[in-house]
Amino acid sequence: MTSIDTAAPVTVRGVAENAGTGVGQIFFQESWPAGALIVLGIAVYSLPMAAMTVAGTLIATASARLVGLPTAHGLQGYCGALVGAAAWATFGDPWPAALATALGAAACPAVTRALAWLLALVPSSAGSLSVLTAPFCVVSGIVALLAAAIAPGSAAAVAAPVAGDPLPLLGVAVLTGVSQVVLVESWLGGLLMLAGLFVANWRVGVAGLVGSLLGTLTALMAGAGAATLTAGLAGYSPCLTAIGLACVFLRPGPLAWVLAAVGAVATVGVQALLALTPVPVYTWPFILTTWAMLLICRRWRG
């Protein structure tokens, strides 16, 4: 795969593949075909959001390159991609969204470096924790708080009751949970993104699907309403937690899948607690749960 690096010349193909890989890394996948399907999943929901997502990836990667950070594997692009998606979700208007994407994505590499330095201070026998999507949460959280302070929105409309057969509604909720990782409320978008995960690695696709399902079922048993569930708001962070624990950070095997399931369920509780704070939730439940699970596992293993 061609990737942009600080010492490599920039080519059109390299830029395109690095952008796709950067989007794929939102789900931990170094795969430009997966990234392309994720962008397509965003595009069926909103073409401008898809454009902001790709722009955010490219801007964050270029910013990292300018300050001398390595940009291979898409690891400097995924937070910029999420910043772009969040900018459109926050503003819904091209010019403020474009400005927020440009400034926020450009800041992501510096925020990533700062958070990596802070996490290196956490005692751990197995090396520093990954920053995950924390840079995106920090940058987009600040943007959202500033937007709310400058131009407060009107009161949120009361969600209409959702009626229908339980099984199809559960399917909608689970698929939309996958799409909400990138702030998209679309079961079709979620289906395309899930297809991208299976293209990258079938285990990743299974983990994402199971994580969203467990998060949805846990929230359902906790009394969440059908409108909240079908919007995918209970599934997106558990989806990422399950992928991270089952397929990325833990030794492959049955125990990793069990811990991924536990983490997915725990993520729902963390999300409920964070919803009580004024801080935009974004993917913080996934981040905090994954960090906690990894620290527990490392201590347990000695």
Average pLDDT, the chain: 89
On whether both 186 and 230 belong to a single domain, the answer is yes
Instruction: Calculate mean pLDDT across residues 33-43.
Output: 97
Of the residues 115, 150, 185, which one is the last residue of a structural domain?
150
Cβ-proximal residues to 94 (8 Å cutoff; 6+ apart), any chain: 48
- Structure confidence at residue 2 as a pLDDT band (50, 70, 90): very low
Structure confidence at residue 70 (pLDDT)? 81
On whether both 124 and 86 belong to a single domain, the answer is yes
On whether both 190 and 284 belong to a single domain, the answer is yes
What is the value of pTM for the model shown?
A: 0.91
Q: Assess whether pLDDT exceeds 90 at residue 217.
A: yes
Asked whether 179 and 85 are in contact (CB, 8 A), the reply is: no
77/101 Cα distance (integer angstroms): 12
In a domain, 156, yes or no: no
In a domain, 57, yes or no: yes
pLDDT digits (tens, 9 = 90+) for 100-125: 999 999 999 999 999 999 999 887 66
pLDDT digits (tens, 9 = 90+) for 169-188: 899 999 999 999 999 999 99
Of the two residues 66 and 122, the one the predictor is more confident about is: 66
In a domain, 254, yes or no: yes
198/3 Cα distance (integer angstroms): 22
- Structure confidence at residue 154 as a pLDDT band (50, 70, 90): very low
Instruction: Calculate mean pLDDT across residues 31-54.
Output: 97
Q: Give me the number of domains the chain comprises.
A: 2
In a domain, 5, yes or no: no
- Structure confidence at residue 27 as a pLDDT band (50, 70, 90): very high
Structure confidence at residue 166 (pLDDT)? 57
Of the residues 87, 117, 150, which one is the last residue of a structural domain?
150
Asked whether 226 and 161 are in contact (CB, 8 A), the reply is: yes
Structure confidence at residue 171 (pLDDT)? 94
**CATH number of the domain that residue 78 is part of:** 1.10.3430.10
- Structure confidence at residue 131 as a pLDDT band (50, 70, 90): very high
Asked whether 162 and 169 are in contact (CB, 8 A), the reply is: yes
Q: Assess whether pLDDT exceeds 70 at residue 126.
A: no
pLDDT digits (tens, 9 = 90+) for 247-281: 999 999 999 999 999 999 999 999 999 999 999 99
Give the 3-state DSSP-derived string for 217-250, with helices as H, strands as E and coil as C.
Answer: HHHHHCCCCHHHHHCCCCCHHHHHHHHHHHHHHC
180/300 Cα distance (integer angstroms): 33
Structure confidence at residue 243 (pLDDT)? 98
In a domain, 247, yes or no: yes
In a domain, 201, yes or no: yes
Q: Assess whether pLDDT exceeds 60 at residue 4.
A: no
Of the residues 119, 150, 181, which one is the last residue of a structural domain?
150
On whether both 91 and 38 belong to a single domain, the answer is yes
Q: What share of the chain is helix, strand, coil (3-state, %, to 5)?
A: 70, 0, 30
Asked whether 270 and 211 are in contact (CB, 8 A), the reply is: no
In a domain, 157, yes or no: no
On whether both 292 and 179 belong to a single domain, the answer is yes
Q: Assess whether pLDDT exceeds 60 at residue 239.
A: yes
Structure-block tokens of residue 139: 């940058």
On whether both 214 and 141 belong to a single domain, the answer is no
On whether both 21 and 82 belong to a single domain, the answer is yes
**Full residue range of the structural domain in which residue 65 is found:** 12-150
The residue whose two tokens read 């958070």 is 115
On whether both 259 and 292 belong to a single domain, the answer is yes
In a domain, 160, yes or no: no
86/106 Cα distance (integer angstroms): 14
On whether both 114 and 227 belong to a single domain, the answer is no
Structure confidence at residue 300 (pLDDT)? 80
On whether both 196 and 281 belong to a single domain, the answer is yes
On whether both 20 and 140 belong to a single domain, the answer is yes
- Structure confidence at residue 156 as a pLDDT band (50, 70, 90): very low
On whether both 118 and 177 belong to a single domain, the answer is no
